[in-house]
Structure 1
Amino acid sequence: MSTMNAIVESTRAAFMSGKTRPIAYRRQQLKNVLRMLEENTDEILVALKKDLNKGRYETLLMEIKMIKNDLVDYIANLESYSKPERPSKAFANWLDSLYILKEPFGVVLVIGAWNYPLQLLLLPVVGAMAAGNCVIMKPSENAVATADFLQKTVPKYLDQECFKVVCGGIPETTKLLAEKFDYIFYTGSGTVGQIVHKAANKYLTPVTLELGGKSPVYIDESADINIAMKRILWGKFVNVGQTCIAPDYIMCTEAVEKKILAAAPGILETFYGKDHKQSADLGRIINERQFKRLAHLVQTSKPVLGGVMDSQELYIAPTILAGVSPNDPVMQEEIFGPLLPIMRVANHQEAINYINSGDKPLAMYLFSSNDAQIWEFLNRTSAGGVSVNDTMLQFTVDGFPFGGVGGSGMGSYHGKYTLDTFTHKKPCLYKSFNKIGEALASSRYPPYSETKRKLLDFLVSKRTGYGFPFLSQLIAFALGLWTAYHYQKGTFSSWFN
Structure 2
Amino acid sequence: MKEKVQMQRRYFHTNETKELSFRMNMLKKLKKALLDYENELLAALKEDLNKSTSEAFLTELGPLYHEITFMLKHLPTWMKRKKVKTPLTHVGSKGYIHYEPYGVVLIIAPWNYPLQLAINPLIGAIAAGNCAIVKPSELTPATSGVITKMIENTFPEEYVCSVEGGVETSQALLAEKMDYIFFTGSVGVGKHVMKAASRHLTPVTLELGGKSPAIVCEDAQIAVTAKRIAWGKFLNAGQTCVAPDYVLVHDSKKEDFLKALQTEIKTLFQRKIDRGDYPTIVSDRHFARLIRFLQDGDVVIGGQHERNKRFIAPTVLTNVSWESPVMEDEIFGPILPVFSFSELDEVIEKVRERPHPLALYLFTESKETEEKLIHSLSFGGGCINDTVMHLATPYLPFGGVGESGMGAYHGEESFYTFSHRKSVLKQPTSVDLPIRYKESKLSLKMLRKLFQ
The TM-score normalised by the length of structure 1 is 0.89
Equivalent AA in structure 2 for residue 37 of structure 1: L
Amino acid at match of 1:121: A
Q: CA deviation at 1:53?
A: 0.7
Match of 2:327 among 325, 331, 350: 331
Structure 2 CA distance for aligned equivalents of residues 378 and 159 of structure 1: 46
Equivalent AA in structure 1 for residue 443 of structure 2: K
After TM superposition, give the deviation of residue 370 of structure 1 in Å.
2.3
Match of 1:293 in 2: 289
Distance in 1 between the 2:55 and 2:434 partners? Answer: 65
How far apart, CA to CA, are the structure 2 residues paired with 1:371 and 1:75? 37
Matched, 1:241 2:232: no
| Residue aligned with 2:183, SS | strand
Kept after mapping to 2: 8 A contact 1:272/1:281: no
* 2:372 partner amino acid: E
Secondary structure class of the residue paired with 1:359: coil
| Partner of residue 442, structure 2 | 451
SS in 1 for 2:338: strand
1:180 match: 177
Q: Deviations over 1:36-91 (max 9, x none)?
A: 11111111110110111111112112111211122112222222111111111223
Contact 1:301 1:330 in 2 (8 A): no
Matching residue of 1:259 = 256
- CA distance, structure 1, for counterparts of residue 231 and residue 225 of structure 2: 10
CA contact (8 A) 1:345 1:351 kept: yes
Q: Distance in 2 between matches of 1:265 and 1:44?
A: 33
Corresponding residue number in structure 1 for 2:434: 442
Asked whether the 8 Å contact 1:352–1:377 carries over to 2, the reply is yes
Q: Distance in 2 between matches of 1:100 and 1:425?
A: 6
Which residue of structure 2 aligns with residue 347 of structure 1? 343
1:425-470 deviations in whole A, cap 9, x for unaligned? 1111112221xx11xx210003x11221233344455xxxxxxxxx
Q: Secondary structure at the match of 1:20?
A: helix
Greater radius of gyration (CA): 1
CA distance in 1 between counterparts of 2:147 and 2:141 reads 10
Structure 2 residue 66 is matched with structure 1 residue 69:
yes
> Which residue identity does 1:264 align to in structure 2?
L
| 1:272-287 aligned within 5 A | 272-273=269-270, 277-279=273-275, 281-287=277-283
Partners in 1 of 2:308 and 2:277 — Cα distance? 19
Structural mapping, 1:360-375, within 5 Å: 360-375=356-371
After superposition, what is the alpha-carbon deviation per residue over 1:21-49, rounded to whole angstroms, capped at 9, x for unaligned? 11111111111100011111111110110
Q: Does 1:380 align with 2:376?
A: yes
Task: Give the Å deviation of 1:221.
Answer: 1.7
Residue in structure 1 matched with residue 198 of structure 2 by the alignment: 201
In the alignment, which residue of structure 1 is the partner of 2:107? 110
Structure 1 residues 328-373: Cα deviation after superposition (integer angstroms, max 9, x where no partner): 1111110101001012223211111000111000000111122222
Say which of 417, 424, 445 aligns to 1:428. Answer: 424
- Output the amino acid matched with 2:385: N
- Asked if 1:88 corresponds to 2:85, the answer is yes
Would you say 1:34 and 2:25 are equivalent positions? Answer: no
- Letter in structure 1 aligned against 2:248: M
1:25 aligns to what SS in structure 2? Answer: helix
Q: Secondary structure, in 3 states, of the residue corresponding to 2:316?
A: strand
User: Which range is displaced more, 340-349 or 358-367?
Assistant: 340-349
Secondary structure of 1:151 counterpart: helix
Q: Say which SS state the counterpart of residue 386 (structure 2) adopts.
A: coil
Q: Which amino acid aligns with 2:434?
A: S
Counterpart amino acid of residue 67 in structure 2: D
Deviations 1:243-300 (A, max 9, x none): 0000000112333221122222222221123x66324552111111111111111134
Task: Find the residue that maps to 1:247 and give its secondary structure.
Answer: coil
- After superposition, give the CA deviation of every residue in 1:121-175 in whole Å (9 maximum; x if it has no partner): 1111110111111101000111111100011111111132111111100011111
AA at the equivalent of 1:386 = G
**Contact 2:111/2:140, CA 8 A, preserved across alignment:** yes
Which residue identity lines up with residue 364 of structure 1 in the other structure? L
- Residues 67 and 394, structure 2, Cα contact 8 Å, conserved in 1: no
Residue number in structure 2 paired with 1:304? 300
Is contact 2:394–2:412 with CA below 8 Å preserved after alignment?
A: no
Match of 2:400 among 389, 400, 404: 404
Q: Does 1:132 align with 2:123?
A: no
Q: 1:278, 1:136 → 2: CA distance?
A: 40
| 5+ residue gaps, structure 1 | 462-497
Q: Measure the CA separation in 2 of the matches of 1:216 and 1:421.
A: 27
Aligned to 2:98: 101
State the alpha-carbon separation in 1 of the partners of residues 175 and 164 from structure 2.
Answer: 16
> 1:114 touches 1:142 (CA, 8 Å); kept in 2?
yes
Contact in 1 for aligned 2:248/2:340 (Cα 8 Å): yes
Distance in 2 of aligned mates of 1:454 and 1:418:
46
Rounded to whole Å, the distance in 2 between the matches of 1:326 and 1:276 is 32
1:482 corresponds in structure 2 to none
**1:408-436 CA-partner distances (Å, limit 9, x unpaired):** 000011001001001001111112221xx
For residues 99 and 288 of structure 1, the distance between their equivalents in structure 2, rounded to whole angstroms, comes to: 54
Cα distance, 1:325–1:345 mapped onto 2, change above 3 Å: farther
How far, CA to CA, are the matches of 2:51 and 2:407 in structure 1?
A: 29
Between stretches 108-117 and 247-256, larger displacement belongs to 247-256
- 1:207-246 counterparts in 2 under 5 A? 207-246=204-243
In structure 1, C-alpha distance between the alignment counterparts of 2:388 and 2:14, rounded to whole Å = 42
